[in-house]
Amino acid sequence: MTGPARRRPSRAETRRRIIDAATAVFARQGIAATSLNDVAAEAGLTKGAVYSSFTGRDDLVLTIMEEHIVERMAGATTAFADLADLDEATTEAGARLLAGIDSDATWHRLLLEYWGLAMRNPAVHKGLAERRARLREAVTAAIGKVADRHGITLPLAPEHLAVVVLALSNGLAVERGVDPDAVPSSLFSDVLKLLVTPRPADV
């Protein structure tokens, strides 16, 4: 008597499996030294299965990067949505962003490696620039919602402030990775507070 037929993984489940496997291999041996064969072996899949979800290694790397940033920014914007007091919300958002830096140090190392690769390869540079532009758009939209929610006067246009926030995150990750004591746990929150000011009440 045969047992029940094994359920075939969905496309989304296979994609998740590939992303998790690639993240592990990239972290272990770096992006440049990793092939799709390595990723497939880590995931227990064929190379063809990887290509059915991603066009190549660059597509996979960029997808992982985008996913990480979206998740981190979502956690920060949730703080602004959940907490009515602006000071408390800014403190919590900064704490969440810095916690993300600490828990995801490997990802920042990969970002720096891929940035170096992109600077030497026009095709890689183009793909990275396109994905970063999409991320800036998402962060810009989130900043606009936060400003409206809390009645904040932004010191810069939202799209420019998005660049500042992303650059701040990347820069603090580098400095904290080199010397953790140089980046106090409250620093991200403190800088965010300098960037947001409540609008004056109507007279």
At residue 115, the pLDDT reads 93
* Residues in the chain with pLDDT values less than 70: 1-7, 198-203
Token pair for residue 125? 């540079």
Strand partners, 197: 153
At residue 78, the pLDDT reads 83
- Of 143, 149, 146, the residue nearest 162 (C-alpha): 143
**Which of the 8 DSSP states describes residue 153?**
E
d(CA 147, CA 48): 46
- Of 79, 56, 65, 189, the residue nearest 135 (C-alpha): 65
At residue 203, the pLDDT reads 38
At residue 53, the pLDDT reads 93
CATH topology of domain 56-198: Tetracycline Repressor; domain 2 (1.10.357)
Instruction: Report yes or no on whether pTM surpasses 0.75.
Output: yes
Domain ranges of the chain: 9-54, 56-198
d(CA 98, CA 102): 6
Chain centre to alpha carbon of residue 169? 10
Buried b (16+ CB within 10 A) or exposed e, 98-135: bebbeebeebbbbbebbeebbeeeeebeebbeebbeeb
What CATH class has 9-54?
A: mainly alpha
At residue 1, the pLDDT reads 46
- Of 112, 111, 79, the residue nearest 189 (C-alpha): 79
